[in-house]
Structure 1
Amino acid sequence: MIRGVRGATTVERNEAEEIVLKSKELMEDLVTKNKILPEQVASVYFSVTEDLDATFPAKCLRQLQGWTHVPVMCMKEIPVPGSLPLCIRVMVTVETDIPQDAIHHIYHHQAKQLRPDLKK
């Protein structure tokens, strides 16, 4: 079965080091909690709000063991008025036997407010 696994985080500043660090923390948590192996992943899509342009958040995947050949892409979010600033979102498309209602979507820092329904 193919599933989408979502996540989001925020940074405090538009700085390359922080963007990569927070993206890496998010991906490590998402991968661990969902027991995802790189060879199960079809693709990873990152999006950032328009106030983030210091680097590509996908660079974080190149720091993770085994993720060298996983296709990744970065894009800008739609600039909806009043939306959460300094936000990085991710969608991982993965082959897994985990039922959809058992997937752990991961939200860190200020991004937790995006999905209050997922709080446990």
Structure 2
Amino acid sequence: MIRGIRGAITVAQNDAALVLAETTKLLHAIIAANDVDAADVASVIATTTPDITAAFPAKAVRTYDGWDYVPVMCMHEMNVEGALPLCIRLMVHVETTVAQKDIQHIYLNEAVKLRPDLVK
């Protein structure tokens, strides 16, 4: 079964190195919490709020060790008034036998405000 694993993280500023580093941190946390193997990943969607323009988060995913063949696409989130700024989100589509309720979604930095019900 394909399941979606959500994750989000914020960056302190629109800086290319920071966007790549924080995306890598988020991906690593998703992998560790859910025992994800790149061979089981169907695709990854990476989004940013419109205030992030310095780098593509997909680059961090594509260059993560062993993830070079995983299809990744970037896009911007809707520009909704009052939305959390400087936020990167990942949706990792993975083949797994883990039940939906047991998937570990990851929210880091200020992004913990997005889903406090899922933050452990």
Which residue is equivalent to 1:53? 53
Unaligned runs of 5+ in 2: none
2:43 is equivalent to residue 43 of structure 1: yes
- Amino acid paired to 1:76: H
Query: Could you tell me how far 1:4 is from its partner in structure 2?
Result: 0.3
Q: For 1:7 and 1:102, locate their aligned partners in 2 and report how far apart those are by CA, in whole Å.
A: 15
Q: TM-score, length-normalised on structure 2?
A: 0.97
Structure 1 residue ranges (4+ consecutive) displaced by more than 3 angstroms after TM superposition: none
Q: How many pairs are equivalent? A: 120
Please give the per-residue CA displacement for 1:46-74, whole angstroms capped at 9, x wherever unaligned.
00001000010111123322101000000
> What is the match of residue 117 of structure 1?
117
Stretches of structure 1 that go unaligned for 5 or more consecutive residues are: none
Q: Distance in 2 between matches of 1:62 and 1:118?
A: 27
What is the TM-score with the length of structure 1 in the denominator? 0.97
Amino acid paired to 1:117: D
Cα RMSD after superposing both structures = 0.7
